[in-house]
Each structure stands twice: as C-alpha cells, then as structure tokens.
Amino acid sequence: MTLNWKLGGLLLGAVFFAAVLLVKPIGVSTQFVILDGIIADTVATDFITQTDEGYSSTNAYMAKSGGKYAKNAANPLNYSFVFVLAMVGGAFLSSMLRGGLSKEERSAPAIWRANYGDTPWKRYAVAFLGGFVVLYGARLAGGCTSGHMMSGMMQTSLSGYIFAAGAFLTAVPTAMLMYKEG
C-alpha cells in the first residue's frame, strides 16, 4: 500500500531531517564508486594503496580529495556505505510487510508491459543502459536525486537547483516519448 502523500511527505522529510540532525545529509550515488573501488581492489590488489598521509589509488578519481574515496573503499564499514546497504534492508522490510510483488511485476513493471508487452529481457537491457547513464551523469554532477535534489535543495544549495533543472529538462520528454501508455 502506498502512503497518503501528506503522511509520506512528512515521514520522508523527517528522515531527511534526522539524517542532518544526527550525522550528515543523505547521499547515495558515491557508494557506486566505492563498490567499484572495492571490486577493483579485489581484482587488482594495488588499485588502492595506503600512503603515509592516508590512502591513494592508481585511478585519479579514487585518489582525488586526498584519497577520500580510496579510504572509504579500503574500509567499507563506514557510515555512507552501510547506510546504502541498510536502505536495501528497509525497502525489503516494507515490501514484505505489504505482501511483496507479483511475479510479473518482479520481472518488468506494468508501465513497461503497457508499452512494450511481455518483453522482460528488453526491459533488463533498458534498465542496464539507464543505470549506466544515470550513474555516469550522477558522478559528473557530483551527486544524484538524493544528494543534489533532496538534500541539496533542502539546504538551499545552488548546485541542487542547477541539477534539478538539468534532470527534469530531459526526464519529462524522455518519459513522455517512451511511455505513452500506462
């Protein structure tokens, strides 16, 4: 069951507030880089190196800002990474409590089926490509819907407004072209 928008909005706002009150504003997309770093360092053990000052990496992006990302990838039990893992758990709990999803919905959402029929593998391909473009864009922007749009605009950050303008400028026409039904 989906919450009434007023209750849902107040609860979501309360979570944003709790995050900034207790720790720091919510952000997610950086953790894709951290997981990439963890994977890369497992495959090639010299990907992340410990230096006198802290951590560094053979990758310039991982090494930037004094090796901040490299440090987090070398120590995955940090706030931001555990936060994202806990999100999966929270969503799982919510989904279970409302009875889970139908078999059809699990493989492809109704809006996909309404436009493209029962073509789950096409859906997977679009989801994969979408994920690629979203995370490439999020890293270029330095944040995503959580960090820029929700946390950023909540803090009256200029970058949050610039990001939201860019995101909606392409999101609305893309959605209208791709999903005429549903």
* 15-74 positions binding another protein, by CB under 8 A: 15-29, 32-33, 35-36, 39-40, 59-62, 64
Shortest Å distance, C-beta 53 to another protein: 21
Nearer to another protein, 46 or 128 (CB): 128
Q: List the interface residues with another protein, window 124-143 (CB under 8 A).
A: 124-143
Closest CB 102 distance from another protein, rounded Å: 6
Residues 133 and 144 sit within 8 Å (Cβ to Cβ): no
Nearest CB to another protein, comparing residues 51 and 86: 86
Site string for another protein, 71-110 (x = CB under 8 A): ------xxxx-xxxxxxxxxxxxxx----xxx--xxxxxx
Q: Are 29 and 133 in contact (CB under 8 A)?
A: no
Choose among 155, 172, 153: nearest CA to 163: 153
Q: Minimal distance in Å, beta carbon 64 to another protein?
A: 8
Q: How many CB atoms lie within 10 A of CB 27?
A: 22
Least Å from the CB of residue 43 to another protein: 12
- The candidate with the shortest Cα–Cα distance to 140, out of 32, 46, 9, is 32
Q: By CB under 8 A, is residue 164 in contact with another protein?
A: yes
- In the numeric block, which tokens belong to residue 22? 């207790």
CB of 173 to another protein, least distance (A): 8
Rounded Cα gap, residues 118 and 44, in angstroms: 41
When the beta carbons of 22 and 45 are compared against another protein, the nearer one is: 22
Residues 6+ away with beta carbon under 8 Å from 92? none
The Cα 175–Cα 169 span in angstroms is 11
